[in-house]
Chain A
Amino acid sequence: MAPTRREFLKIAGVSAVGLVLPPLATLTGAQAGMPAAGGVSQTAPGPLPALRAKRWAMAVDAGKCPPGCRDCITACHLAHNVPDFGNAKDDVHWIGLERVDHVFPAEIHSRLPESFKRLSVPVLCNHCENPPCVRVCPTQATFQRADGIVMMDYHRCIGCRFCMAACPYGSRSMNYRDPRPFIPKINADFPTRTRGVVEKCNFCEEGLARGILPACVTICKEKALVFGDLEDPGSDVRRLLDGRFSIRRRPDLGTGPQVYYLL
């Protein structure tokens, strides 16, 4: 007898994780030379185990960013089929570069060294510990996973844009138009979005499931972006944060951003 949907859900829920499944070589992965987790060599054939964490976090060593470099933006937007509308009104982006005094208006003052004031800083979704966007979403289309990633369920979003008003970081974009014609090069391994939904950075959740670090991290030649498990004392991101002074965007708002900046 055919199983019911309920049974299927149950089966789907309990089926073992990490079962060996053939991974599809991602465009990003291929471009970045299949970056490794846990010391797997770059050319290692076969599937990589999924990367798991108690709390994913990123550290941005903004001083390492070469002037004018946009590699992380290009890699991210290519990997996730982010459209390029070429105008500020319809603009959709997951990661961007902003002037440091705009990112940290409370911290930057006129007596800082020039080299400091000229910095451009990568900004992306902070995957907050206490995300206001999740709190305000009327359909739970945006939600927080156990590992801290703030996800979007594009199937469920009704496009009310309450989350855009709630996000204190300007990390979210609305698809005001059909994005498909504006995607420079379609990556077949990741869906596009449809008109009328809000989108944002997902910490490359789809890559982590295949054992690949985020696209922006792997593409960065300067190693300015460091990603890892904040709860793991041996992780790269923890070692970096343990050794240097770091700040977060608008910590006074109590959102608990999980992107840390070393300036």
Chain B
Amino acid sequence: MASTYSILLDTRFCTGCNTCFYKCVQENRLHDTAAEGHYRTLVLIKDDGLYHRRCMHCKEPSCEAVCPTAALSKTDYGPVLYDAERCIGCKTCVAACPFHVPQWDETRHQVVKCTMCAHRLQDVAGGKTIPACVEVCPTGALIFGEYDELVAMAKQIASENKLHIYGLEENGGTHLIILAKEKPEVIGYPAVPRDTVRSREIKSVSGVVAGAAAVAALAYAGIKKYSERRIQVQNFNRSEE
């Protein structure tokens, strides 16, 4: 796989029909889990626009970073994939994803999350195998292609039409890029900072270590002082006796 794939969602052409949702269910045979409320992609009709709740395929995925067993992995061709066999069900990814995407299917004991139809991406050059949601979108609101090309396209469309772009900066950049008339955060997309888990963890770990060291020093000093005082008191008491 030489290419790095990506999906561009131009919400100016999305009607919220959710054909992408149902096609995904059929393509990936997710009927039972979907009936229970879990989905890989779904369009929510919000007051200020349409919110596509689906995996953003981060360049540096938080889910991958927090997964203790490497059940989640970032492929070199774009999608973030999930291996149910490796998963131990800690569900940390569910809480860690800044986009609130992975869902835990408690009946089937696995995470539900988009794969960008990785199984269809074997013959992209042949033009046949693009993600099911992209193939089915009645209005062509979803576009599939090379990351760099789509980024260039997104920037051009956005500047020509005064649109907001979501996914270029968020969480260090993602492989789903969204164009919207409204500010995505107003529509309902989560406000996600630019820095990734990896950049943050260094700070966190150093914070923990520094904090632990500080407390250790304080504790040592504290007990030393307390016990010295105790001894002094005892000695004093003894001498009193």
Q: A and B: partners?
A: no
